[in-house]
Chains A and B, each alone.
Chain A
């Protein structure tokens, strides 16, 4: 049954922040740290979403997703690369025969201010080009003016086009202002058919934060308790160092638990996180000594 989105369970911001402090108190050291870092690496959607993107840049990104490091060999692939629709084909070719997925933003990313028709055409185009996953944005204007039905229907329409292709719905939490709104938008996206909910485009500050992510994880948890259906989570933007990635994993571990501790259900949308993780893994490998960033490829 679809709930009335006007009346959702309220969120207490102070309580959320206190919970975050508790997560950040966890001491993640030694083996736990190495396992966590490798897991985080395997969950990264390596992202380039710039006006100046070229096929060469995309190819370089794809290679990085396949070979994160020359120095440390026992590393997983990254989860996916995330690009604009016109670069999907290039990425797809570069990544053929690998487990790295190609995710494409669509629906007039990042603003989402376009007609539904345009959005559907763009989504179809990305899929035809070979995208394995679609990252759409919601219409924040409509959401903030209370047209929840509009937002819901739009997501449902895009999911309809996606079919079995994974749909990640970007809430752009930086524009939604309150945690109550973020919870509301999460519920709308989940009930409308999102496979993943995602915090941000990366184009608006603040992008992903731990409180925002916790509220979204709680929405996923509440939905799972009701329906037994798993929804994925992707915090994106603003997570640039290994320590905060570990803190997100602690939060995931203690909120949704082991079922979500895999790239199938959790992703980091990030461009520079991978290299900081490599730096930290290098430190673990060389007995606590950091090597120069010059040793890590872009």
Chain B
């Protein structure tokens, strides 16, 4: 064939590779998982849950009112004092192992549902969310009978009932982060997922039921903020673990003032990702991309403020733009999708407002050229070049695929700018020089500092913030402490 012998340069677009969903079972309606059973809500109200990529209704989920919360807390207290507290730690561990294994077995199903309900690319839910969720259960299962060795010379004791409220950005993973250490330390749980993403938590309830966990040890109830507030204010809970926005975190702290309830908060962030002139530039570009566009930027530790040393700014920005153009934005179920759908409509509006705000501040906006799908909640990967430290888009957590770029001249300047923010969850440093890295980790007010990489998680390493990003640590040995008294 003559034509083929002179193939001209061409754009090689990847054919759609859509993950099949026909084997996925999503019930038309979900009830509350209380005391080992799925029960109808006293509120008699069900709310809809949508696929943000198609705006289609996936299912309807029960709304838990005060009476339902009371029921769940009662079940958790009963099973705590009658079963879970008395059970040998080794036996507790077996249940946690079992949950981990079933998550692994059903990982494909969970990944697909996570993507359908939350809009994140299947590549991420398949390769990140679900495996890491299973790993957290495996990891904490190992700790259950070794608590005395974790805290030598002390006698760690469980607290009672933990009320856990989790956000919509990593629904199953956050559930794992919360439930696994609570169970390992001998506490029982009432967990509420975000009303935007209840489905994988409810699938986890099915898994927990199928694992024959004693009734009431884990209760999963669904509903909006009001449900969470009933949980927080309930007199018979002993511990609150919350991941979500800083404002709600503050409200929780207000409302439990004067009580004995223990609290950990994992709140917002606005991380500085700092690139020095001696950085491995091409790998730093990847790190910047992963730092901000991972999970559409719905990551509390997203590297949303990029600081570039002035003499390499031009190179970094032009490479960043080119790299952004190769990101595939679209159907989250397509295995080739890099950036999926914005989790919900409210969030999309919020992101749009910030983009408008940045424009009004006169900051140069760059957005990718590709078309977005007609239906669903999508946002183009966006870059604010020459952003100003005082601008709202630099100061506020946008929680979307929006990166601000600022430059710096000296190391002192960048430390000052990086710390000049109410948040302090994470930061990134890119340099080939080890001494510079350690200097910065000492001076950056951030719970996690990544060097020459970004967004790395492991069950064995603690995670948590400074300042208005919250307190308490999750993951690792440190993640046991909030669930114990000594």
Contacts and interface: CB of A to CB of B under 8 A. Distances in A.
Interface of A: 9-12, 14-16, 18-19, 25-33, 35-36, 38-39, 42, 73-77, 99, 218, 222, 225, 249, 253-254, 257-263, 265
Given A15-B453, A261-B12, A25 B335 contact: yes
A25 B127 contact: yes
A15 B336 contact: no
B6 to A, nearest CB: 8
Chain A interface, >50% SS class: helix
Contact of A76 (B4, B278, B284, B432): B4
A14 B326 contact: no
A29 B17 contact: yes
B283 A39 contact: no
B111 to A, nearest CB: 14
A36 to B, nearest CB: 7
> Which 7 residue pairs of A and B lie closest in terms of their CB atoms, listed nearest first?
A15-B283, A27-B17, A76-B4, A12-B280, A27-B335, A10-B432, A12-B283
Interface in B1-40: 1, 4-15, 17
A253 B12 contact: yes
Given A25-B123, A31-B15, A11 B10 contact: no
Given A19-B286, A29-B17, A99-B5, 5 more contacts: A15-B284, A18-B453, A29-B15, A74-B1, A261-B10
B300 to A, nearest CB: 22
Contacts of B13: 32
Interface residues of B, number: 34
Interface in B433-459: 452-453
B282 interface: yes
Contacts of B318: 225
10 contacts: A9-B280, A10-B280, A11-B282, A12-B452, A15-B287, A26-B336, A39-B7, A75-B4, A99-B6, A258-B9
B206 to A, nearest CB: 29
Interface in B277-296: 278-284, 286-287
A38 B336 contact: no
Interface in B243-299: 278-284, 286-287
B311 to A, nearest CB: 12
Given A10-B280, A27-B336, A254-B326, A32 B4 contact: no
A194 B5 CA distance: 24
A76 B15 contact: no
A226 B318 CA distance: 12
B453 A28 contact: no
